[in-house]
Amino acid sequence: MTTFREPVHAVPGVVPGTVLHWYDFLCPFCYIAQQRNAILRRHGLGVVELPFQAHREICSGGMRAGPRGEPMDTILEREAKEAGPAVAVA
């Protein structure tokens, strides 16, 4: 793991050793990354989770997605299972 003696850039009000994790709470890739914050915490880093909605055009009921089965869908499903929590990939 790489460590820095000096902060790459200072963020006012954020303690050194803190990771600001901005993520789109609708994105499946971001969901998986959010589960990996435990790795950062195990290494002694603080994590501030900052969810946001990147695609405001998606209504609260969601939107229809195309058929599943592409190679990326298979990879995403495997990564989600490895991340730990139960997820539904339709």
On whether residue 70 sits in a domain, the answer given is yes
Model confidence at 61: pLDDT above 80:
no
On whether residue 10 sits in a domain, the answer given is no
Kind plus residue range of the DSSP H or E element containing 83: helix 71-83
On whether residue 12 sits in a domain, the answer given is no
> For residue 50, what are the contacts with CB-CB under 8 A and spacing of at least 6?
20, 21, 22, 23
Name the 3-class secondary structure at 8.
coil
On whether residue 5 sits in a domain, the answer given is no
Range of the domain at 36: 18-53+65-83
pLDDT digits (tens, 9 = 90+) for 7-37: 545 566 677 788 888 888 777 777 777 778 8
On whether residue 3 sits in a domain, the answer given is no
On whether residue 59 sits in a domain, the answer given is no
Q: Tell the burial category of 61 from Cβ atoms under 10 Å away from its Cβ (0-12, 13-18, 19+).
A: exposed
On whether residue 32 sits in a domain, the answer given is yes
On whether residue 37 sits in a domain, the answer given is yes
- How many structural domains comprise the chain? 1
